[in-house]
Amino acid sequence: MYNSKIIGLGHYVPENVVTNDDLSKIMETTDEWITERTGIKERRWAKPEDKETTFTMGLQAAKRAIERSGLDKDEIDFIVFATLSPDYYFPGPGVQIQEALDIKTVGALDVRNQCSGFVYAVSVADQFIKTGMYKNILVIGAELQSHGIDKSTRGRSISVIFGDGAGAAVMTREEDNTKGILSTHLHSEGKHALELATEAPGMGTRWVTDILKENDPTDLSYMPYMNGTFVFKNAVVRFSQVILEGLAANGLEKEDIDMLIPHQANLRIAQFIQKKFELSDDQVFNNIQKYGNTTAASIPIALTEAWEQDKIKEGDTVVLAAFGSGFTWGSVIIKW
Ligand code: UT7
């Protein structure tokens, strides 16, 4: 059995910056409300005329990650792409990446675990590398949220939070079992599926054929719904549990954490976790202030920025943790 490790990171965000004040011009909201409740000051929303998509942003991030990994694109054995906002309902964007990178017909897997998507994707890649089935895996998390949210006052509790962007990592085999990804921990609790969800297009309770037949412009099935307070309360509990689970699995204590990269859901959640684990400002990386919540892209974007800013060094214990729709949650413990 091998370990896996991250050898290349990259991210991409659209150029278009949307500040809280910009939002207050199109809906009833204020910079004060958004900053106080979420910590967000601005986010990137792709301009429709730029024709950016989850795939195109993911591709940019992937190219940077591959370049920094020192590998040739043809050495990539497998692709894992996490997103809740694919370009097409099907197929997922993994195959678009395979085609655009012009690499041989390697497998491409799409992961649908929303805010936990990147953590799940890393876990999947880690298992393939551990068994020796694949050596080098490209893992991407990308989201185009801005084209799928209600930007009127009706949708403000969702739309002010979410942003567009992409992050990617190249993972490879590590022969030293004390280094790299030490363990990953995944959970779900499907009874809360509809507390944070977009119903359509779905084939279950709300048929697309019915939605089309009804042709009702007030139908919100295609819009994301979030029971914010309920999600918040569950998030703080599950984040803590899954970080503790990861530490315990490796005989580590909270004092051993050098860097925690939490999914950027809400600065208040990250601050709660920071306090609970008695971490300093230098030990928790947040960039939600600049990008909002970019769902599956948030951890790889934050990880890339933390690494670019030299906040992660060889030998550091780095913890990734996420919670989101499903509910799903998870953690990754890394010896960098
Ligand atoms: O990434 C996946 C996981 N997601 C999360 O972890 C998100 C967790 N939840 C949250 O971050 C918070 O619940 C929110 C930031 C989404 C909302 O904060 P809240 O303190 O729970 O606010 P609320 O939803 O209870 O709304 C409070 C009030 C309401 O008005 P009334 O009913 O008290 O009159 C809302 O209508 O704030 C109103 N409101 C807004 N006001 C100004 C909701 N959105 C806005 C807005 N601007 N954008």
pLDDT digits 0-9 by tens, 134-187: 999 999 999 999 999 999 999 999 999 999 999 999 999 999 999 999 999 999
Structure confidence at residue 220 (pLDDT): 85
Query: What DSSP letter does each residue of 165-185 carry, written as one string?
Result: EEEEEEEEEES-TTSEEEEEE
Query: What is the band of 219 on the pLDDT scale with cuts at 50, 70, 90?
Result: confident
Structure confidence at residue 52 (pLDDT): 97
Strand residue runs (E) in 230-294? 259-262
**For a pLDDT cut of 90, what percent of the chain falls above it?**
93
Does position 207 have pLDDT exceeding 90, yes or no?
A: no
Distance, CA of 37 to CA of 229 (rounded, Å): 11
Q: Token digits for 324? A: 């989101």
To 10 degrees, the CA torsion angle through 251, 253, 256, 262? 110
Does position 204 have pLDDT exceeding 90, yes or no?
A: no
Residues, the chain, total?
Answer: 336
Decide yes or no: CATH 3.90.1300.10 for domain 180-335: no
Q: Which residues are catalytic?
A: 115, 263, 293
Residue of 28, 37, 189 best suited for mutating to test ligand 1, as the one with most atoms within 8 Å of CB: 37
115 in contact with ligand 1, CB cutoff 6 A = yes
266 in contact with ligand 1, CB cutoff 6 A = yes
Atom index in ligand 1 nearest the CA of residue 228 equals: 13
Give mean pLDDT, residues 4-22: 98
CA of 228 to the centre of ligand 1 (A): 6
Instruction: Find the helix packing angle between 31-38 and 267-276, rounded to 10°.
Output: 30
Give mean pLDDT, residues 68-83: 98
Calculate the average pLDDT of the chain.
96
Nearest CA to ligand 1 atom 12: 228
Nearest CA to ligand 1 atom 43: 157
Query: What is the band of 211 on the pLDDT scale with cuts at 50, 70, 90?
Result: confident
Lowest mean pLDDT among 2-11, 83-92, 196-205, 315-324: 196-205
**For a pLDDT cut of 70, what percent of the chain falls above it?**
100
Which CATH class, in words, describes the domain spanning 3-174?
alpha beta
* 130 within 8 A of 4, measured Cβ to Cβ: yes
Task: Identify the three-state secondary structure at position 6.
Answer: strand
Return the closest-CA partner of residue 69 out of 127, 61, 310. Answer: 61
Please, which residues have CB within 8 angstroms of residue 21's CB and are 6 or more apart in sequence?
31
Atom index in ligand 1 nearest the CA of residue 226 equals: 16
Backbone angles phi, psi at 138, to 5 degrees: -95, 120
Structure confidence at residue 45 (pLDDT): 98
Give mean pLDDT, residues 84-102: 97
Please, which residues have CB within 8 angstroms of residue 296's CB and are 6 or more apart in sequence?
82, 83, 84, 111, 113, 114, 115, 117, 118, 121, 141, 142, 143
297 in contact with ligand 1, CB cutoff 6 A = no
Handedness of CA 257, 247, 131, 170 (dihedral sign): negative
Does position 206 have pLDDT exceeding 80, yes or no?
A: no
Enumerate the CATH 3.40.47.10 domain ranges in the chain, comma separated: 3-174, 180-335
Lowest mean pLDDT among 171-175, 211-215, 256-260: 211-215
Atom index in ligand 1 nearest the CA of residue 295 equals: 1
Does position 331 have pLDDT exceeding 90, yes or no?
A: yes
326 in contact with ligand 1, CB cutoff 6 A = no
10 Å Cβ neighbour count for 45? 25
Give mean pLDDT, residues 64-81: 98
Does position 203 have pLDDT exceeding 90, yes or no?
A: no
Q: Are strands 225-226 and 107-111 parallel, antiparallel or unpaired?
A: unpaired
Give mean pLDDT, residues 74-83: 98
Nearest CA to ligand 1 atom 11: 266
38 in contact with ligand 1, CB cutoff 6 A = yes
CA of 55 to the centre of ligand 1 (A): 30
